[in-house]
Structure 1
Amino acid sequence: MGRRGAEEVVREFVGLPSPLGGRAGAGGHPCQGVYHRPAAGPPPRTAFIAAHYDVDFSEHYLAEHLARRGYGFLGWNTRFRGNGAYFLLDHALAEIGVGVRWLRERAGAERVVLLGNSGGGSLMAAYQSQAVEPNVAPVAGMRPVEAVEDLPAGDLFVALAAHRGRPEVLTAWMDPSVTDETDPLSADPALDPFDPANGPPFDEEFQRRYRAAQRARNDRITDWALDRLADLRGTRARDQVFAVHRTWADLRMIDPAIEPSDRPPNRCYAGEPLRANYGVFGIAATCTLRTWLSMWSLRTSQCTAAPHLARVTVPSLVIHATADEGVFDSDARALFGALAAADKRLEFVRDDHYLRRSRPQVADLIDAWVRDH
C-alpha cells in the first residue's frame, strides 16, 4: 500500500437506484458517487465510504490521498445531496447501505471503513448503529423503510473533524436573541451576542443564559412544527416549508477565550459571524416540518451521535483539527467518550476544519491505523 502518484488513481462514477426509488425522469440515479482506487494491481481489499447529510462528498478531499495509499474510496451521496431541506434519516441510511453493498459485492472490498467527516460523523455513526442493532424509527406520519432493517455493517469507524450531531450543532450555533421566527431582524437586546454591552468577553452568567435560551428556541420550533403538522392533518397539505434564521452565533466563534484552541478569533465557516449570521446561507436555513423533526430537533431527532456511538463497537479512530472554527475540543472528546469500542484512539492535528495544510499527513495517520487493524 505504498504511496502512489496522482496519475495512478482511477476515478469511476457510480450511479445506483435507491430502495426508495429509481432513476429520475432526466436520467439521474438517486444514489451517486465517485469511486477512487489505484490504477495498478488487484482491487483494493479495504475501502472507505464517506457520506454527509446534504454536502456532496463524491470528490472528498481525502479520496485521492487514500487511493494513492492503496485503498478504495467511495465518496457517496444519497438523494439528499444539496437537498437537506427534505432530509429523512431512515431514507438516507438505506441509501448509504446501497453504497456499502456496492463496495462489498461489486468493488471487491473485504473490509469497509466508515468515514464520518464533519456532519457526516453522526450520520455514519447512525448507519453503523442501525446496521448492528436496528433502532431508527420513521418520522411522524411516514411509512417504515424496509431496507433500513438489513444494512451491511462497517468493519472500522473513523470520525474526522466531526460534530456531536445535527441537533447539537444547530443549537450551539443558533442565535437565541431571535424573538420572531418570521423576522430575521428581531432581537432581544439582553441575549444579542453582537451587542457590545454583552461582550466579548462573555461572562459565565451570560453564557448560561445564552445556552439555555438556545435550547429554548430549538424547543419552541419543535412545538410549532408538531402543532403545525397536527393542523395539516386531513387537509390537502402533508408538510410545509419554513425558514430558520440566524444560525452563526456560537459564542465560541465570537470569543476565543471560551474553549481556547488554535482557531482564528471571530471566525466561523462562513466568515465573520456577525455578517454570516444575518446572511441567507446557514444550516437549517430551509426545512420542512418533518425534516426539522428528523434532523434538527433536540427532542425528536435521531441524528444525535452519542446514542449511536454507544452501539459502535468496531475499532474506531477520532481525529480532531485544533484550528477548527466550528468543531471544538469538547466535541471530539465527547465523541470519543461515547464510542462503545474497546479499541479506540483519539488524535489531534493542527489544522482547520477542511485540513487544507495536512491532508497527506492525515492520510498517513489513517493509513497507519488501518494497517494496525
Structure 2
Amino acid sequence: MAGLGREVGREIAREFVGLPSPLIGRAGAGGHPCQGLYHRPASGPAPRTAFIAAHYNVDFSEHYLASYLAERGYGFLGWNTRFRGNEPYFLLDHALAEIGVGVRWLRERAGVERVILLGNSGGGSLMAAYQSQAVEPNVVPVAGMRPVEAIENLPAGDLFVALAAHSGRPEVLTAWMDPSVTDETDALSADPALDPFDPENGPPYGAAFQERYRAAQRARNERITDRVLAELDALKGTRARDRLFNVHRTWADLRMIDPAIEPSERVPNRCYLGDPRAANYGVFGIGSVCTLRTWLSMWSLRTSQCVAAPHLARITVPSLVVHATADECVYDSDARAVFGALAARDKRLEFIKDEHYLRASRPRAADLIDAWVRER
C-alpha cells in the first residue's frame, strides 16, 4: 500500500514492501521476513536511480535521509532483513541473501536501472560485504552451518556510499569493550589497573595505559572466541546446537571519555547513549546478547567476516565516504580507513560538521550525495 506525506516542498509516496526470504518462511502471524519502505516522488516519472540502506540490527525502513533523497528525485528503499531488532541471532550470509531480495525488487519491480548501496553507521560494513559478495563471492558459513545458495548470485550495486560508517563489527565492539572485566559472568568484575573509570588511570590517559588498554581489549575478544569455540565443540552430540550468552560492558572506548585522544568536534565524555560510564554499566549495548554462532559471525576478531577492509578492497564502483566530524563514536581515523581500503579509483571523502545522526544537516547531506551522484 502507498501513503502520501509532505516533506520540504515535495510530496513523497511511501510504499510498504514485504517479501519472502530465500531462507525462512513467513511468520505465523503473517509478517514477511524481509520488510521495508520504498520512498519516491509522488508525481512524475518513476525514479531510475534508487538507494537501498540496511543495517545489522537497526530498523532502516524510515531512514532519516529517505525523504530528503526522494525529494531530489530518487527512490529510497529503507530495507530490513529478518535480523532487524534481532541481533543476538545474526548470521552474515543469511543477511546478505535478504539484502539481495531488496536489490532485486528495486530492479525488477520498481523499474530502477541504477542501484546505490548506502552503508550508514554499522550498515557501512554490511553493505560493503554485500557488494563484495556480489562481485567476488567470498563469504562462507559460520561453524556448523550449511552454505547459503542464494548468496552465490547477488545483484551488485552501481555506486557505494559510506555515511558515518564504522570500520566493521568486530573492530567496533573491540574498540568499545571494557577490558577490565575479569569475569564474563559478573557484570561488576573489574581489574583496577585497566578500569577506564578509575581516576588513577585517567583521563587524561597516558600513552602506556592506552597501549595496555588496547591490547587488553583485543585479548578479551580472543578469550571470548576461545570459549565460544570450546562450547560449540562440547555441544556436539548433545540435544543443543547453540546457546545464548551475555557480553557485559561495551561502552568504554577511551576516545569516548578523553577528547585529547584523536581530537574532533565531538562532545567530550559522551557516547551514543550519553555518559559512557552510565552506559557501560547499563543493559543496552552492542553484542550484549549473542548466540555462540552469532559471536563467530559478527563479533569475533578471529572469525567474523563483518570486517570492512577485505570487502572494501573488492569495491571498484564509484564510492563516496561522508564523515560527520562531531560523531560521538565514529572517528576521523575510521573514515580514513574506510576511504583508504576502497579499491575504487573514483572515490571521494567528504566531511560534514555534525553528530552521528546528522540531525542539523540532513538537507546538506542529501545535497552533497545528490550532487555526487549526478556527476556520475
Q: Same fold (TM over 0.5)?
A: yes
One-letter amino acid of the counterpart of residue 314, structure 1: V
**What residue in structure 2 maps to residue 182 of structure 1?**
185
**What residue in structure 2 maps to residue 18 of structure 1?**
21
1:13 Cα deviation from its structure 2 partner:
0.2
1:42 Cα deviation from its structure 2 partner:
1.3
Query: Are 1:326 and 2:320 matched, yes or no?
Result: no
* CA distances 1:276-319 after superposition (whole Å, capped 9, x unpaired): 00000000000000000000000000000000000000000000
**What residue in structure 2 maps to residue 141 of structure 1?**
144
Aligned residue runs from structure 1 range 268-347, under 5 A: 268-347=271-350
One-letter amino acid of the counterpart of residue 140, structure 2: A
SS of aligned partner of 1:32:
strand
SS of aligned partner of 1:115:
strand
SS of aligned partner of 1:242:
strand
Shift of the 20–85 alpha-carbon distance from structure 1 to 2, 3 Å rule, reads same
2:10–2:71 Cα contact (<8 Å) kept:
no
1:83 Cα deviation from its structure 2 partner:
0.1
The correspondence for 2:212, drawn from 209, 212, 219, is 209
1:4–1:69 Cα contact (<8 Å) kept:
no
Query: Are 1:86 and 2:93 matched, yes or no?
Result: no
One-letter amino acid of the counterpart of residue 135, structure 1: N
Query: Are 1:108 and 2:148 matched, yes or no?
Result: no
One-letter amino acid of the counterpart of residue 102, structure 1: W
1:7 Cα deviation from its structure 2 partner:
5.4
* CA distances 1:129-184 after superposition (whole Å, capped 9, x unpaired): 00000000000000000000010000000000000000000000000000000000
**What residue in structure 1 maps to residue 169 of structure 2?**
166
Shift of the 6–36 alpha-carbon distance from structure 1 to 2, 3 Å rule, reads farther
* CA distances 1:38-74 after superposition (whole Å, capped 9, x unpaired): 0111110000000000100000000000000000000
In 2, Cα distance between the equivalents of 1:21 and 1:221?
29
Query: Are 1:59 and 2:57 matched, yes or no?
Result: no
The correspondence for 1:40, drawn from 40, 43, 46, is 43
In 1, Cα distance between the equivalents of 2:365 and 2:172?
24
The correspondence for 2:125, drawn from 119, 122, 126, is 122
1:6–1:64 Cα contact (<8 Å) kept:
no
**What residue in structure 2 maps to residue 153 of structure 1?**
156
In 2, Cα distance between the equivalents of 1:84 and 1:109?
30
**What residue in structure 1 maps to residue 3 of structure 2?**
none
Give 5+ residue unaligned stretches, structure 1.
none
Alignment length, in residue pairs? Answer: 371
1:15–1:33 Cα contact (<8 Å) kept:
yes
In 1, Cα distance between the equivalents of 2:34 and 2:255?
36
The correspondence for 1:353, drawn from 345, 352, 356, is 356
In 2, Cα distance between the equivalents of 1:282 and 1:148?
29
Give 5+ residue unaligned stretches, structure 2.
1-5
Query: Are 1:267 and 2:270 matched, yes or no?
Result: yes
Query: Are 1:72 and 2:75 matched, yes or no?
Result: yes
**What residue in structure 2 maps to residue 198 of structure 1?**
201
**What residue in structure 2 maps to residue 220 of structure 1?**
223
1:22 Cα deviation from its structure 2 partner:
2.2
SS of aligned partner of 2:160:
strand
In 2, Cα distance between the equivalents of 1:372 and 1:63?
20
SS of aligned partner of 2:335:
helix
Q: Percent identity?
A: 83
2:10–2:41 Cα contact (<8 Å) kept:
no
In 1, Cα distance between the equivalents of 2:239 and 2:26?
27
The correspondence for 2:235, drawn from 215, 232, 241, is 232
* CA distances 1:162-213 after superposition (whole Å, capped 9, x unpaired): 0000000000000000000000000000000000000000000000000000
1:23 Cα deviation from its structure 2 partner:
1.0
In 2, Cα distance between the equivalents of 1:4 and 1:372?
25
In 2, Cα distance between the equivalents of 1:6 and 1:93?
36
One-letter amino acid of the counterpart of residue 138, structure 1: P
One-letter amino acid of the counterpart of residue 307, structure 2: T
In 1, Cα distance between the equivalents of 2:283 and 2:195?
19
Aligned residue runs from structure 1 range 243-258, under 5 A: 243-258=246-261
2:18–2:34 Cα contact (<8 Å) kept:
yes
In 2, Cα distance between the equivalents of 1:319 and 1:113?
15
Shift of the 201–294 alpha-carbon distance from structure 1 to 2, 3 Å rule, reads same
1:10–1:39 Cα contact (<8 Å) kept:
yes
In 2, Cα distance between the equivalents of 1:183 and 1:341?
46
RMSD: 0.9
In 2, Cα distance between the equivalents of 1:54 and 1:7?
30
One-letter amino acid of the counterpart of residue 157, structure 2: G
In 1, Cα distance between the equivalents of 2:90 and 2:75?
27
